[in-house]
Amino acid sequence: MAAPRTDWQERIQPGEAERHARDAEAMSAIQRAKSARYGNGRALHRKPLLALRAILSVPAALPEPARHGLFAEPGDHEAWVRLSNGGPDVANDRAPDIRGFSLRVWGVSGASALGGTTDHQDFTLINRPAFAFPDSRPFVGLVTAAAKGPVHLLPWALRTYGPLGMFPAMARLSKDLAAPFPGFACQAFYSAAPLACGPYAARVRLLPPAGQRAPAERPQRWGDDLLARLKVGPLSYRLQLQFFVDEARTPIEDASVDWPEALSPYVDVGTLSVSVPSTDAESLSAQVERSVFDPWQALAEHRPLGEVMRARKVVYFVSQKERGAA
């Protein structure tokens, strides 16, 4: 186990801003095509599964590296939760996909990562501890190729990995996407890329409630599975931080590296209590769907870090404008 350090650095590559602008336009084109088919919506994580209210409780006496921004003072914060499938299509919940657990925490006050001030802190989490790629370039290439049709995936793989690496890479990606999903009450969710915590850098994990088991049969709707569990009683998730300790083993720029837990153990920084939706469930769902969930909708003390997060800053903003949410 190593102590958290504050000597992390971001390394911005030449031409990165121009590339991110091109990638945003490519994703926007996909978004327009999908919106023409399904109606106005997001570029990715298009299909909402459930919108919920929650309470995030921040405890007292957190370790010093965690006591910054949202976690500087103990207290309870109202929160919104948006659960989603990760793809650009409105697909059956039984189809293999990345799953999203987005969280907006209200009741904060301070300088914003985007300038000015903010009254909320967003966390956009997925059910993978790291991304499939070290940076955004191959991911955008994959999404663009897939949007054109399966016949375009092999040429993308050839360009990206070469003739010797393309088939092993495609096999790895297919295996990862097809990994069984046990449900939103049984799966951990991760930021998969770092953010600042004051002078420190950390990744975020949300641990599922204890004692929950995957359903015996895969449900038609994952949102219904979680609702059924909430009708039995509230569910409590553990929000955690994992801190940067050195560039070699906990890199800032390479989002494909799963930071070793033995080296940098997760630290509990809050409890997220989720209850069955109240009588305003329909109104809440519409409100959440109109809203933006963006890692850059954050306190400056939790500024997103690394190339993947810098790409998101540009791509998300263009996507938000495309659907009239920015």
Q: What is the mean pLDDT of each run of 10 residues along the chain (326 residues)?
A: 95 96 95 95 95 97 97 97 95 93 97 97 97 94 88 90 89 88 97 98 97 93 95 96 98 97 98 87 90 97 98 96 85
Rounded-to-integer distance, Cα 256 and Cα 70, Å: 26
List, in sequence order, every residue forming a beta bridge with 112; answer none if it has no partner: 299
Dig out the tokens for 125 from the structure: 């989490």
The pLDDT, as a whole number, for residue 149 is 83
The pLDDT, as a whole number, for residue 266 is 98
The pLDDT, as a whole number, for residue 280 is 81
Contact by Cβ (8 Å): 43, 27: yes
Site of tokens 């293999």: 96
Backbone angles phi, psi at 101, to 5 degrees: -130, 95
Up-side HSE of residue 230: CA atoms within 13 Å toward CB?
22
Dig out the tokens for 291 from the structure: 């809203």
Dig out the tokens for 98 from the structure: 């990345």
Q: In a 3-state reduction of DSSP, which class is residue 247?
A: coil
Q: CA-based diameter of the chain, in Å?
A: 57
Domains within the chain, CATH numbers bracketed = 16-322 (2.40.180.10)
Please state the pTM of the whole predicted model: 0.95
What stretch of H or E contains 100? strand 99-111
The pLDDT, as a whole number, for residue 146 is 87
Smallest CA-to-CA distance from 82 within 222, 210, 217 is with: 222
Contact by Cβ (8 Å): 299, 108: yes
How far lies 160's CA from each of 87, 139, 149, 154, in Å?
A: 21, 10, 17, 10
The pLDDT, as a whole number, for residue 129 is 97
SS (H, E, C) 143-212: HHHHHHCHHHHHHHHHHHHHHHHHHHHHHHHHHHHCCCCCCCCCCCEECCCCEEECCEEEEEEEECCCCC
Contact by Cβ (8 Å): 56, 278: no
Rounded-to-integer distance, Cα 191 and Cα 205, Å: 7
Smallest CA-to-CA distance from 23 within 294, 320, 321, 314 is with: 314
Backbone angles phi, psi at 29, to 5 degrees: -65, -40
